[in-house]
Amino acid sequence: MRLIPEWNNHTNCLIAWPCNQDLYGTQLHQARIEIANLANHISEEEEVYVYCNKIDYKECYEIISNKNISIFEANLDDSWMRDIAPIFFRDGKNLSAAEFNYNGYGKYPNFNNDNQISKYICNQFNIKSVEVDMVLEGGAITYDDNSNLFTTESVLLNPNRKNLSKNYINQTLIDLFDLKNIVWLPGGLDEDDTDGHIDNIFAPIGNNKYLLASSKLEDKKNYNILKKNKKALEQFFLSQNINAEIIQVPLPSEIVIENKRLVASYINFYFSKKSIFIPKFNVKEDEEVYDIFKSLFIDKNIKMIETKNINYGGGNIHCVTMNVPKI
């Protein structure tokens, strides 16, 4: 059983329609427009499935306005598809999935609907699945093509996830996904509502290349934790004799909407067959980051998508999407 890197080909992209009024507040409608724009862009390259609550179906259909996108009614509490979808993996010649528990990051009371979405999706695609007795969100892990899985201590070891010991987590994931190593980074971005998901700070991109978020010294909290993460990665690669290249990607300048400082990162992007979809924040770092990605992915289109209203709700492009691998 093997995890499948995100840069491999996909059969589908799964997206959940924003619905949590408490999180999005007055930005909900604009977040939906941004989700529709993202879905329409991705649908030019792969089949897109959008899931929404029954009450939102008509509006979802009208805003997306794309007959090539399939819209399905499903009971949702929130829009973070990356966290509530199953984790897909290769089992021989077949695509299988792991259904982990989801508990609203241990802080939000309404999560029961989202905790059933992975089963709904597995049934819909007729994918064999295994239930895993562990709280784990998809945004809490990432993995390369060398059987290494990366995560943060601040999430999976957080008491609010109510997981067992670190040894239990290690052994469960190693056995399930036939991993060589699990690499624990200390933590994620400051004020990240998820307690520090790794998909805001770190992403393998193949060929022993890895993207790592970086910040300026004046952003002390993020600077310090990102420095610790870099050191942990360097020590791991050195211990495994892996000639890895760590490419640092700056965080965007401070972005504030309605007096709320966004927890924003360019690392929160989506691979597709022909393109890389990256958040656009309309700040000075946009151009620098575009050039970094263009130099790394010379055979792909680099598309920067406006997503600040999605980000207001707590996540970004990677958080609201889940790729179904093609095998």
- Stated as kind and residue range, the H or E segment containing 291 is helix 285-296
Query: Is 80 exceeded by the pLDDT of residue 269?
Result: yes
| Percentage of the chain modeled with pLDDT above 90 | 98
Q: Across residues 205-234, what is the average pLDDT?
A: 95
Q: Where are the domains of the chain?
A: 2-325
Q: How far is it, in rounded angstroms, from Cα 275 to Cα 317? A: 13
Q: Please report, for the chain, how many H helices and E strands are present, in that order.
A: 10, 19
Please count the other Cβ atoms lying within 10 Å of the Cβ belonging to residue 287: 10
CATH of 2-325, one of 1.10.3720.10, 1.20.58.220, 3.30.413.10, 3.75.10.10: 3.75.10.10
Q: What is the pTM of this model?
A: 0.97
Q: How far is it, in rounded angstroms, from Cα 109 to Cα 254? A: 30
Assigned token pair, 77? 């509490």
Query: Is 70 exceeded by the pLDDT of residue 239?
Result: yes
| Dihedral in degrees, nearest 10, Cα atoms 234, 239, 244, 249 | -20
User: Tell me, what amino acid is at 207?
Assistant: N
The number of angstroms, rounded, from the C-alpha of 239 to the middle of its chain's C-alpha atoms is: 27
Contacts of 39 (CB under 8 A, 6+ apart): 13, 15, 48, 50, 64, 66, 69
Q: Across residues 138-143, what is the average pLDDT?
A: 98
Query: Is 90 exceeded by the pLDDT of residue 218?
Result: no
Residue 174, CA atoms < 13 Å, CB-side half-sphere: 10
What is residue 201's predicted lDDT score, i.e. its pLDDT?
Answer: 98
What is residue 1's predicted lDDT score, i.e. its pLDDT?
Answer: 61
Assigned token pair, 52? 């929404």
Closest alpha carbon to 270 in 122, 111, 90, 138: 138
The per-residue pLDDT of the chain, averaged, comes to 97
Q: How far is it, in rounded angstroms, from Cα 39 to Cα 259? A: 28
What is residue 41's predicted lDDT score, i.e. its pLDDT?
Answer: 98
Tens of pLDDT, residues 294-311: 999 999 999 999 999 999
What is residue 217's predicted lDDT score, i.e. its pLDDT?
Answer: 86
User: Tell me, what amino acid is at 197?
Assistant: H
Tens of pLDDT, residues 161-215: 999 999 999 999 999 999 999 999 999 999 999 999 999 999 999 999 999 999 9
> Cα-flanking dihedrals φ and ψ of residue 58, to 5°?
-60, -45
* Coil vs helix vs strand at 92: coil
Closest alpha carbon to 146 in 243, 270, 234: 243
Q: Across residues 248-275, what is the average pLDDT?
A: 96
